[in-house]
Structure 1
């Protein structure tokens, strides 16, 4: 199964438009959004093209293809604009080979792991820093941020194709981080 991951949109319309364009071209079955969708948050600068209401309109065009989790900047008011569920603190995707535990990263994350089995994948955002690495018995995957990258990184998103996970640069699809999860 092919999946696309985006995190920490923070209301950026240009980032949303780019993500949706890439999603349509990718052949991915679902777009997984790892929280912080509409609001920039009090500790972040306004991202380029900050237009939360228009971001909602654009994402709603593929609402039936979105699996999302709530980030620390998301609220019930945001849910009123979105046609896909956003208020779950975590979700799971089960493949034939493993479980992907989806979370924003502020409740569960690398420093506060949920109960997972060897070979499972922790998928999170929140830090805005790309990760695709085996850590102990779990694979950690963070697609970075599509709007407000941190740590000297560029805006990025993630792709899963079979057992291969990649973090790709939003603007030129250059591979930033990658790894294979064991089947």
Structure 2
């Protein structure tokens, strides 16, 4: 099972267009949106190309291929613009290996505050805007970074799960971090 991850779009149309272009190029069937899809939030500046209705319109074209969770900047009003559900705080994805992905935005659950997980499970979260792909204790931590507001000197990025490898990739094509789930 291969998955494409994007987090913290924050209503930026140019960033969302870049995500969709890379998603299409990847050939992966499922796009996982890890929250903060349409709204920039009160702690962030208005992003370049801020256009939540256009972002929603673009993403709605892929509604049947999207798994999404709610971020701290997402609201019921945002859901009204989207054709796919995104108001849940987390989703579980079962991998063919039996490992589970716990996908959440990161403001409720994160690497420091985990739900009950088994050895080898993966907690996937955004929120910090910092790329992570590592084994931490008995679980893996995976954060695809942010496509709109990268932090700590990192490039704008997205995440991939391919052939049991999780990695974060910059839009320039550089692998920022990666680890094997084996």
User: Which residue number in structure 1 is paired with residue 106 of structure 2?
Assistant: 105
Paired residue secondary structure (1:111) = coil
Paired residue secondary structure (2:110) = coil
- Report how far residue 179 of structure 1 moved: 0.5
- Report how far residue 153 of structure 1 moved: 0.7
How far apart are the structure 2 equivalents of 1:54 and 1:164? Answer: 33
Instruction: Structure 1: state its 5+ residue gaps.
Output: none
User: Which residue number in structure 2 is paired with residue 57 of structure 1?
Assistant: 57
User: Which residue number in structure 1 is paired with residue 91 of structure 2?
Assistant: 91
Matches within 5 A, 1:144-159: 144-159=145-160
Paired residue secondary structure (2:19) = helix
Using structure 2 for the length normalisation, give the TM-score.
Answer: 0.98
How far apart are the structure 1 equivalents of 2:96 and 2:61? Answer: 29
Using structure 1 for the length normalisation, give the TM-score.
Answer: 0.98
How far apart are the structure 2 equivalents of 1:2 and 1:29? Answer: 8
How far apart are the structure 1 equivalents of 2:41 and 2:147? Answer: 15
Instruction: Detail structure 1 runs of 4+ shifted over 2 Å in the superposition.
Output: none
Paired residue secondary structure (2:50) = coil
Contact 1:2 1:27 in 2 (8 A): no
Aligned pair count reads: 181
Per-residue Cα deviation, 1:115-173 (whole angstroms, up to 9, x for no partner) = 10000001000000000000001010000000000111110000000210110002x11
Matches within 5 A, 1:1-183: 1-97=1-97, 98-170=99-171, 172-182=172-182
- Report how far residue 71 of structure 1 moved: 0.2
